[in-house]
Amino acid sequence: MGLRERKKRETRQRIADVAMGLFAARGFDDVTVAEVARAADVSVNTVFNYFPAKEDLFLDRRDWAEGRPEEVVRQREPGESVVRAFRRDVLDAIATRSWRYGFNEGSDVFTGMVRESPTLLARVREFHVEREEALAAALARESGAGGDDVTPRVVAAQILGATRALSDYAVRRMLAGEAWSSIEPALKEQTERAFDLLEHGLGG
């Protein structure tokens, strides 16, 4: 990466970090883009050059997070099904407390800010739809499914619905003040159960 590109990435990250600090301290709806710009020592136009909307300051990792499910599909091991690949990825995220499924320290604070802001709540719901559509498109390409085949959309909805349920479960217990040491074993058990259902069917 060249110097110019590196500086642009550093500027983007600094703006996002400053914005998140302000949002955490005062709430998303009570912070303006102009205040973020002043705190980051840049112009308002510079902020909008990197982040088209205020919500994008909060969801600064959105592009990576949206593309992550497709990456899981693309990087699965030889002979590994999509469901097994996601099971492995979620269990790895639990073990490493990765933010990609909301298992990181601070995800309870993040969730609290989203719940307090109707604007953010709407944007996050929109993000989940976009993520599901991106995964469905990836599955359709992988399987060669035709445009009238609903299978990729059904699979994408079920897999990402399961990961959201697991994330909600973990965050709910974090918000209740439980230590990760007590959450982790139960979360692993819930993950295995959820992916067993996906792998073997919901008929029971």
Output the CATH code of domain 62-200: 1.10.357
**Rounded Cα gap, residues 113 and 95, in angstroms:** 25
The per-residue pLDDT for 1 is 67
- Count of helix runs (H) and strand runs (E) in the chain: 10, 0
For residues 127 and 59, the answer to whether their CB atoms sit within 8 Å is: yes
CA distance 65 to 88: 17
Q: What is the rounded radius of gyration, in angstroms, for the C-alpha atoms of the chain?
A: 19
pTM of the model: 0.82
Q: Which CATH architecture has domain 3-55?
A: Orthogonal Bundle (1.10)
- Low-confidence stretches of the chain (pLDDT < 70) are 1
| CA distance between the termini of the chain | 52
Contact by Cβ (8 Å): 58, 79: no
User: Residue ranges per domain, the chain?
Assistant: 3-55, 62-200
Per residue in 72-113, pLDDT (tens digit) is 999 999 999 999 999 999 999 999 998 888 898 888 888 888
Put residue 201 in one of left, alpha, beta given phi > 0 → left and psi -120 to 50 → alpha. left
Q: What is the DSSP letter of 156?
A: H
Check: CB of residue 89 under 8 Å from CB of residue 167: no
Which among 204, 198, 190 has a CA at the least distance from the CA of 94?
Answer: 190
Mean pLDDT of the chain: 91
Cα torsion 24, 28, 33, 37 to 10°: value is: 0
Give the whole-angstrom CA distance, residue 190 versus residue 90.
11
pLDDT at 24: 86
pLDDT of residue 145: 86
* Half-sphere exposure in the Cβ direction for 7 (13 Å, CA): 3
How far apart CA 142 and CA 136 sit, in angstroms, is 10
